[in-house]
Chain A
Amino acid sequence: MNQAQATPDATLCPLDVESVRKDFPALHQKVNGRPLVYLDSGASSQKPEQVIDAVQAYERRDHANVHRGVHTLSQRATDAFEGAREKVRSFVNARSVREIVFTRGTTEAINLVAQSYGRSRLASSDEVLVTEMEHHANIVPWQLLCGQTGATLKVVPFDDNGELIMARFKELLSSQTRIVALTHVSNTLGTVNPVHQIIRMAHEAGAVVLIDGAQAVPHSAIDLMALDCDFYAFSGHKLYGPTGIGVLYGREALLDAMPPWQGGGDMIKSVRFSGSTYNDLPYKFEAGTPHIAGAIGLGEAVDYVSKLGMDRIAAHVHKLLDYATAQTERVSGMRVFGNAPGKAGILSFELQGIHAHDLGTILDHEGVAIRTGHHCAMPVMEHYAVPATARATFALYNTRAEIDSLFAAIDKAREIFHT
């Protein structure tokens, strides 16, 4: 995500949202008697018909185990599974499919790196650098690793705008830093972090960099060759694909040198009681029967968003965010968390006198689905000294009218609470 992509091109032909919405069956229903307004895609997005159909077609016709049979169905399943890997590679512009490891999701991808790379390389004098705005999935695996190796976890703070304090990053980065792990886009604040700069500086200091791309991949086009990070993790279910499937990108030379994480079938070349030899990349990191249907669904999701165009999607979401942000100004007692310039389509907020949990219930009553709580980012809540926030996220299928519904529902909540 370079600057050019973060500021969407106004000359792009805009997304035809009404026609896009037709692809998403889940959007066309009533919830509590009101048309569903789904503003929780940051937690998990809905799936287009194309993804649902691709998964179904596989389940109905092509299912067999992969990489093992000579029979026709096994071949079909293997082709579809490996075809999905190639789609993902091309989507994020990785050099080779050997660098694309299928995992259960972002969480598993980060744990894989912590346990395989981290555990085999870190010693007690080493440091892991994360940021204050990480999702728990990019904190706890490193805490576990530090517990196992005696290494120290250091944290780069952010300012009240929601931007990383780069001066602190520079101070904390040292020759002891072995791993820098940070999110590309914050799931609570929407901040798009200056990852290019951070990766360059971390490499100069001799550290490897893992980027949590869970929120960034649905937000705009990713070019891993240009980014030059060492590891990049994301989930299918936030990219209009299935749950239970995600991706770890790893630089080939690093993956090659890393020990396997889990052992089992598919990840070995030969097994003898005197010792086993491991399979080539990426299979060395894919022990056991994978989530074949999930990978196929993810491949289809990648096709879907590619066809629409990530730049057009980003432009659409930016417009929605601008529209929503303008509306926040007229609501008295509304406090928005995260005001970084060029942020992603994520609006976290608090309403004075109404706890986020109550707001969530009242909004649901109006058919409006938002996320409430700590968003698996308790340190962010602590930063602002709030127990919870409400969060609306905007996706390719959301409309201005839906944002109007959100704010109408917020007005209703204030009326009920007499604020």
Chain B
Amino acid sequence: MSDLRDLYQAVIFDHNRSPRNYGELASANRRAEGFNPLCGDHVVVLLQMSDDGVVEDVRFEGRGCAISTASASIMTETVKGLTVKQADQYFDAFHRLALGEDPGDDLELAKLEALSGVREYPSRVKCATLAWHTVRSALHDTGDTATTE
């Protein structure tokens, strides 16, 4: 039996209680919404992209469980300053991490590791990946609502 503390690490509670980059972003030029139909979680990601495709600023809004809120918070810290391509690489690495696959060692994933506990909880993987699906939609400006399906 897995230990609950692997899922609910102190970092998760910290981000859940005081989420980083939470709120509106008046200068945003990209926006995407994400929705997890299973639990009703809803997240909005706002990006301010530079002309040469770098994430200059980022915010998120929405209500969700501790896992999805912490993941969104950590996601915003991660993608700030990245190019679209770099952010995509983080998306892929995080996805593998959440599924219990090897994320490779090309990227600095220390912060994201806090969410790796979801790999033992298949029903919670989607909570962790929702914000990442949403930021990907915003980065690629697909105009769709991201879902974890």
Contacts and interface: CB of A to CB of B under 8 A. Distances in A.
Interface of A: 32-33, 354-358, 361-362, 365, 372-374, 378, 381, 387-388, 416-418
B13 A418 contact: yes
B126 to A, nearest CB: 10
B22 interface: no
Contacts of B68: 357
A387 B8 contact: no
15 contacts: A32-B1, A33-B1, A355-B63, A356-B65, A357-B64, A357-B67, A358-B8, A365-B4, A373-B38, A374-B39, A387-B39, A387-B40, A387-B63, A417-B8, A418-B13
Ordered nearest first, which 5 A-B pairs have the shortest CB separation? A355-B65, A357-B65, A387-B40, A374-B40, A388-B40
B124 A361 contact: yes
Nearest to A388: B40
A372 B13 contact: no
B127 interface: yes
A14 B68 CA distance: 45
Contacts, number: 52
Most chain B CB within 10 A, of A33, A358, A362, A378, is at A358
Contacts of B64: 355, 357, 387
Contacts of A374: 39-40
Given A355-B65, A418-B13, A387 B4 contact: no
The binding surface of chain B is classed by DSSP as mixed
Given A361-B121, A361-B124, A388-B39, A416 B4 contact: yes
Interface in B1-60: 1, 4, 7-8, 13, 38-42
A373 B13 CA distance: 21
A416 B38 contact: no
A373 B39 contact: yes
B66 interface: yes
Contacts of A418: 13
A327 B8 CA distance: 27
A40 to B, nearest CB: 13
A356 B40 CA distance: 10
Contacts of B8: 358, 416-417
B117 to A, nearest CB: 10
Nearest to B66: A358
A381 B41 CA distance: 12
A172 to B, nearest CB: 27
Contacts of A33: 1
A365 B124 CA distance: 13
A381 B67 CA distance: 21
Contacts of A417: 8, 13, 66
B114 to A, nearest CB: 15
A33 B3 CA distance: 12
Contacts of A365: 1, 4
A115 B141 CA distance: 39
Contacts of A356: 39, 65
A355 B13 contact: no
A387 B42 CA distance: 8
Contacts of B41: 357, 387-388
Contacts of A373: 38-40
B4 A357 contact: no
Given A373-B40, A378-B40, A358 B13 contact: no
Contact of B39 (A32, A362, A372, A416): A372
Contact of A381 (B38, B40, B66, B121): B40
Contacts of B123: 361
Contacts of A372: 39
